Every structure is written in C-alpha cells, then in structure tokens.
C-alpha cells in the first residue's frame, strides 16, 4: 500500500483545566478551521466526554502515515501558536495513533467493511 492510500487517525483526549473548557474549545475550533484546508486532511470530529466534564476528544483522519503527518503537518506555523496556548488551558493530552482497518456506516477511511 502506498503512502497516498494510507490513512492515520489521531484520537486525542484533552483534559482541560477547571473553567477553561470553552476557551480551549474556541482555540481548538480555530485550529480545525485552519487545518481543514490542508491537502491531506480528511475529517475531524470533536466530542465532549459525558462522564468527564472537563474532557474533550478530537478524532482526526488524515491521508498518509504517522511519520508523514509529523514531517508535514506538525511543523506548520499555525500549530506553533496553538501549542503555545495549551499550557494555560489543559492539564493533560493523551494522543493515540490509529490505523483504520474496518469501517461501517460511512466512507471516511480507506478501510474495508469487515
């Protein structure tokens, strides 16, 4: 499979500081607006954790691999500004790198149905 057909999913859980969730959501939404025009961007979903009221989760789908994302996307200048704001808004960030292997109900990834 070539890099052009590969996809990587970033599942990122943010634990926001008390009282900072909506401010962080605004920063995250601004980032998504900018990154959504990138050539390798496919989709992003932001969700609140029902059981953890200070937590936000973003599920991003990108064309490429983890290495290509780190080499091409993470270095973008707009990310530096965004990363600079995180210390004031979040307590923790947990990143999971996922490779889609199956998909049902949509066609966002190149994964086949079961």
Q: What is the pLDDT of residues 60-110, one digit of tens each?
A: 999 999 999 999 999 999 998 898 989 999 999 999 999 999 888 888 888
Does pTM surpass 0.85?
A: yes
Q: What domains appear along the chain, each with residue ranges and CATH number?
A: 3-98 (3.30.70.100)
Task: List Cβ neighbours of 4 (8 Å cut-off, separation of 6 or more).
Answer: 63, 64
Return the pLDDT at 114. 60
Q: Can you tell me the mean pLDDT for 42-64?
A: 97
């Amino acid at each position: 499979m070539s890099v052009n057909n590969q996809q990587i999913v970033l599942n990122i859980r943010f634990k926001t500081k008390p009282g900072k969730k909506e401010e962080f959501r605004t920063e995250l939404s601004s980032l998504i607006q900018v990154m959504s025009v990138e050539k390798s961007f496919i989709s992003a979903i932001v969700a609140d954790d029902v059981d953890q009221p200070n937590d936000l989760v973003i599920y991003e789908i990108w064309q490429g691999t983890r290495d290509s994302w780190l080499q091409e996307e993470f270095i973008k200048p707009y990310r530096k500004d965004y990363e600079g704001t995180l210390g004031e808004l979040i307590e923790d960030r947990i990143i999971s790198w996922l490779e889609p292997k199956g998909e049902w109900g949509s066609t966002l990834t190149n994964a086949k149905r079961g």
